[in-house]
Amino acid sequence: MTELKRTPLYDLHNELGAKMVPFAGYDMPVQYPLGVMKEHQHTREAAGVFDVSHMGQVILSGESWDHVARSFESLVPMDVLGLEDGRQRYGMFTNDAGGIEDDLMFARRGNDLFVVVNAACKDADIARMKAALEPEIMVAAITDRALIAVQGPGAEAAVAGMDPAAADMTFMDVRDLSLDGVDVWASRSGYTGEDGYEISAPEDQADALTRALLALDGVEAIGLGARDSLRLEAGLCLYGHDIDAETNPVEGALNWAIQKVRRNGGDRAGGFPGADVVLAAFENGASRKRVGLQPEGRAPMREGVEVFDAAEGGHHVGTVTSGGFGPTTGGPVAMGYISIDHSKIGTPLWGEVRGKRMPLSVAKLPFVAANFKR
Amino acid sequence: MKFTEEHEWLRVEGDEVVVGITIHAAEQLGDVVFVELPDEGLTVSKDDEVVVIESVKAASDILAPIDGEITEVNGTLTDNPSAVNEDAQGEAWFFKMKPSDPSQMDEFMDEAGYQKFIG
């Protein structure tokens, strides 16, 4: 086994008493002494700081914004060209079969494109971008910066207390800030369904900045365990589980992320890997769809639970792809792929847990309403 | 109180034995969110899976530590599973059983032995 990589906050995690686990090749904090449940609730009620430095940060640059944006559009089904300076969007890399190779956030910083990708996919993503876009576009993996998320209703007070300009940002804005003397690239976004920021900071200053944030009232360190339950309640996909190379964006209920200009009839329709499959799915619909699943009892239904249309016998209609206990909803929550004819909200279904069929129903996502600053 | 290598505790109460999990086990599990208890009156053999316990992290089974009959279950855990984290070796017992062979308990550890076992 290869040695686990460490983020610039590794020493801090240990000092805080974190339980460290291997995740995507990194030694990461799954929880702190507070525990997953309290960390989750704290983030919804106050503010949490997450180390997400394992994620990939990449900058694409070229002769002009137009050139960079049009080049990136050859890899993603999003409207990149229409992105205003200082704004961010959700996106995904597709493959020739229309499947999703990774999901990502991309932001315009002047004429550059700043892309944040998943840790487990970052090597493949960087190789994909380099192969497709170099040498006309420069693809630079940023390996000397940490990424710190500050999430929750108290995030604005925490970050804006260090740089008041943070308060002027709205959801999906990006801006350079100076936090406690550290020059950072901040976006007003995250992966919890709460208001908050993701902050890219130079690696040698990340520890001091994180300690300064944690020293503020109402700010706690939050591990990957709570990050997962927060994003699940928020209805957000975990790559490799809720979406993967075998699921296309329409099946993944991510139609909203593909702007009209890239769909049939749009000025720049298609032109990304698997466009024929994805655009056909828009026209004809998909045979299955990612939906929320609300177990009726208290038993969590986790990834891999098979879903049926009857309490006994009947047909297999889908599979849970993420599931667990939602600390904010106070009960189990799940999402998964369900055949399209059983995917209407409210449809009663059964999930098989330990050989027993337990009732659940198709539910609206998110389970907990988003709390963004629009 | 006696302790098993499966991180259960047993306390003799008259001709019954009360069974729960140790504080150490509860800490390892993390926040408990769901407990499924057996039916009262069920006859079980040592190592039968009798309780399902789910934490925020994963599902685990609790095994019958000895042969016998389940005489009572702690139904309050169904509504308040977090009691397992709060008072694992007190209020949050799982079930009581009538042992068919009390000598099966002889092999279990005492508190000092268990503390040594978890090191």
Question: To the nearest whole percent, how much of chain B has pLDDT over 70?
Answer: 100
Mean pLDDT rounded to a whole number for chain B: 96
* Domain termination site, one of A218, A233, A248: A233
Predicted local distance difference test score (pLDDT) of residue A1: 57
> Residue B106, class by beta-carbon neighbours within 10 Å (0-12 exposed, 13-18 middle, 19+ buried)?
exposed
Does residue A228 lie in a domain region? yes
Chain A residue numbers touching B56 (CB-CB < 8 A): 36-37, 225, 229, 324-325, 327
* Domain termination site, one of A216, A233, A250: A233
Report helix, strand or coil for B102.
Answer: helix
Does residue A336 lie in a domain region? yes
Does residue B114 lie in a domain region? no
Q: Give the closest residue to A66 by CA, choosing from A83, A81, A78.
A: A81
Nearest to B34 among A37, A298, A327 (CB): A298
Q: Residue A15 belongs to a domain with what CATH number? A: 3.30.1360.120
In DSSP notation, A125-149 reads HHHHHHHHHTTTSEEEEE-SEEEEE
Which chain A residues touch B if contact means CB-CB below 8 Å?
A: 31, 35-38, 225, 229, 298-300, 302, 324-325, 327, 332, 354
Q: Enumerate residues 6+ apart whose C-beta is below 8 A from A2.
A: A25
Distance CA A310, CA A317 (A): 10
- Asked if the C-beta of B56 comes within 8 angstroms of chain A's C-beta atoms, the answer is yes
Distance CA A289, CA A287 (A): 7
Does residue A267 lie in a domain region? no
ipTM: 0.85
Distance CA A28, CA A53 (A): 10
Does residue A75 lie in a domain region? no
Same domain? For A158 and A50 the reply is yes
Does residue A133 lie in a domain region? no
pLDDT, mean of residues B44-60: 94
Distance CA A369, CA A223 (A): 22
Does residue B118 lie in a domain region? no
**AA letter at A373:** K
pLDDT tens for each residue of A295-323: 999 999 999 999 999 999 999 999 999 99
Q: Is B54 in contact with A37 (Cβ distance < 8 A)?
A: no
Same domain? For A21 and A167 the reply is yes
Q: Residue B44 belongs to a domain with what CATH number? A: 2.40.50.100
Which residue stretches of B6-110 are H helix? 23-29, 76-79, 83-86
Predicted local distance difference test score (pLDDT) of residue B57: 85
Same domain? For A305 and A178 the reply is no
Predicted local distance difference test score (pLDDT) of residue A2: 72
Q: Which residues of chain A have pLDDT under 70?
A: 1
Does residue A85 lie in a domain region? no
Phi and psi at residue A272, to the nearest 5°: -125, 160
Chain B residue numbers touching A36 (CB-CB < 8 A): 30-31, 56-57
Does residue B11 lie in a domain region? yes
Number of domains in chain A: 2
Same domain? For A294 and A183 the reply is no
Q: Residue A340 belongs to a domain with what CATH number? A: 2.40.30.110
Distance CA A286, CA B110 (A): 60
Q: Enumerate residues 6+ apart whose C-beta is below 8 A from A313.
A: none
Q: Please, what is the Cα angle at A340 between A247 and A326, to 5 degrees?
A: 70
CB atoms within 10 A of CB A54: 21
Which of the residues A298, A301, A322, A329 would you substitute to probe the B interface, choosing the one with the greatest number of B C-beta atoms within 10 Å? A298
Does residue B74 lie in a domain region? yes
* CA distances in angstroms from A15 to A9, A29, A33, A221, B34, listed in the order given: 10, 11, 11, 12, 31
Nearest to A229 among B52, B56, B81 (CB): B56
Does residue B113 lie in a domain region? no
pLDDT, mean of residues B7-17: 96
Which of the residues B27, B29, B31 would you substitute to probe the A interface, choosing the one with the greatest number of A C-beta atoms within 10 Å? B31
Does residue B26 lie in a domain region? yes
Does residue A93 lie in a domain region? no
Q: Parallel, antiparallel, or unpaired for β A219-221 and A47-51?
A: parallel
Number of domains in chain B: 1
Does residue A222 lie in a domain region? yes
Does residue B107 lie in a domain region? no
- Asked if the C-beta of B31 comes within 8 angstroms of chain A's C-beta atoms, the answer is yes
Q: Give the closest residue to A297 by CA, choosing from A358, A206, A374.
A: A358
Nearest to A299 among B36, B56, B82 (CB): B36
Same domain? For A348 and A215 the reply is no
Which of the residues A23, A30, A36 would you substitute to probe the B interface, choosing the one with the greatest number of B C-beta atoms within 10 Å? A36
User: Which structural domain, as residue segments, surrounds residue A338?
Assistant: 287-374
User: Which structural domain, as residue segments, surrounds residue B17?
Assistant: 2-102
